[in-house]
Copies of this chain bind each other. A is one copy, B any other.
Amino acid sequence: MIEAKTQLRVYDDTKAMFHLPADVIYLDGNSLGALPLGVAERVAQVITAEWGDELIRAWNSAGWYVQPRRVGDRIARLIGAAPGTVMIGDTLSLKVYQALAAALEMNQERKVVLSDTGNFPTDLYMAEGLIATLGRGHQLRLVAPEEVEPSLSDDIAVLYLTEVDYRTGRRHDMRTLTAKARALGIVTVWDLAHSAGALPVDLAGVGADFAAGCTYKYLNAGPGAPAFLYVAPRHADQARAALSGWMGHAKPFAFDLGYRPAGGVERMRVGTPPVLAMAALEASLDIWDRVDMGEVRARSLALGDLLIAEIARRCPSLRLVTPRAHAQRGSQVSFAFAGGYAAMQALIARGVIGDFRAPDIMRFGITPLYIGEAEVLKAAEIIEEVINGEVWRRPEYQVVNAVT
């Protein structure tokens, strides 16, 4: 047993803390992280001892009411944010919506939301929905990822980006873009879906205005785990909560008829917090509290380099779409391949689990807490077999599943 407060060595100490099925090399932790060992017990304990025994009293006795902020503080440490600036709840779609709504109100004379074609679609869809609801002639302007920086101009209200591209793993330069945006009077909203737990993030240091992320990818909090929202302290007491639910009220239990926002990021709470899902998140954070994000990043880059080199050597028909330069890369490696869908099915059938993103991207997530060199080398071997041996052409791998 490792003592409670010791720092953990990435992989050497942490791999044993995950439930990983035998005969699987899991390279899809960028989509759904693996299960940390303590989760089932923690959730069972919350169900039985808190909900079951304490019943309604648990809102106080078990701290359910303050949990979204308390857990937010544990995530704040991972993304370079001060305590009291991160709130947990809802889903990432809703958190980027709240952030964008607040950001647009801070810049009412401008009507353009600048994003890129590599942003995750739900961010774009939520923006479309918000723009239609606002009905004030806002425009969602989409440019290619590499065109974002030259497209910054003083007609833009909000720069609305995901730091790491979900398909290519290409990483924006958050520091430079945020600085240039701020100099032009543009408010920034960063989606950290592929950043939190993947690489060091320095929200306070770069001066980001808003940021949001999910916890079911690199943070390993389980399917449908709640999201988080960061609001820079300089905005937190002014930002309007467009989704003004009772938990974000200054006095939720006064049951006033009129809305009055709580101070700070607390106003970004909406409804009743997801207590059971939050218990899983807390158990997963027990690991994250004890690892060094710099070590995670160094290992991630080394493993990514290894996968890139191995595939370049073994499978020239797979075209690398992830930047080789470390500064421009997130924690995944992606290849374009015309038969990518079928190839991924064949890989999964052989225990190498990555995923496919339309139209032709094969993604492999690098999650150093439970993936090491041996796994990457073994995966590369199996990829070679499937691609070079034309295994992927077999009819059984052409069938399209409901969800991929």
Contact = CB atoms under 8 A, between A and B. Distances in A.
Interface of A: 19, 21, 24, 26, 28, 31-32, 34-35, 39-40, 43-44, 47-48, 50-53, 55-60, 64-66, 90-94, 97, 101, 117, 120-122, 124-126, 128-130, 132-136, 142, 167, 214, 216, 222-227, 240-247, 249, 252-259, 270-278, 280, 348, 353, 355, 357-358, 401-404
Contacts of A31: 56
Contacts of A404: 253
* Copies assembled: 2
Given A19-B52, A246-B125, A249-B125, A280 B276 contact: yes
A259 B94 contact: no
Nearest to A260: B125
A110 to B, nearest CB: 16
A223 B64 contact: yes
Contacts of A124: 257-259
Given A28-B56, A136-B135, A270-B94, A224 B353 contact: no
A132 B242 contact: yes
A57 to B, nearest CB: 7
Most buried by B among A225, A242, A271, A355: A271
A348 B57 contact: yes
Contacts of A214: 272
A24 B348 CA distance: 51
B222 A276 contact: yes
A21 B53 contact: yes
Contacts of A90: 90-91, 94, 271
Most buried by B among A216, A227, A256, A277: A277
A129 B243 contact: yes
Nearest to A44: B40
A342 to B, nearest CB: 16
A47 B280 contact: yes
Nearest to A22: B53
Contact of A355 (B56, B58, B91, B132): B56
Contacts of A19: 48, 52-53
Nearest to A91: B271
Contacts of A240: 132
Contact of A402 (B58, B65, B247, B278): B65
B43 A128 contact: no
A51 B220 CA distance: 10
B60 A271 contact: no
Given A35-B51, A133-B101, A402-B60, A244 B126 contact: yes
A253 B216 contact: no
A59 B245 CA distance: 30
Given A124-B258, A128-B244, 15 more contacts: A21-B53, A21-B55, A31-B56, A35-B52, A40-B52, A57-B348, A91-B270, A93-B245, A117-B257, A126-B245, A130-B133, A133-B134, A133-B242, A254-B358, A276-B277
Nearest to A275: B223
15 contacts: A28-B55, A40-B44, A40-B52, A50-B223, A65-B402, A93-B247, A101-B133, A121-B249, A121-B255, A129-B244, A132-B242, A135-B136, A214-B272, A225-B276, A226-B274
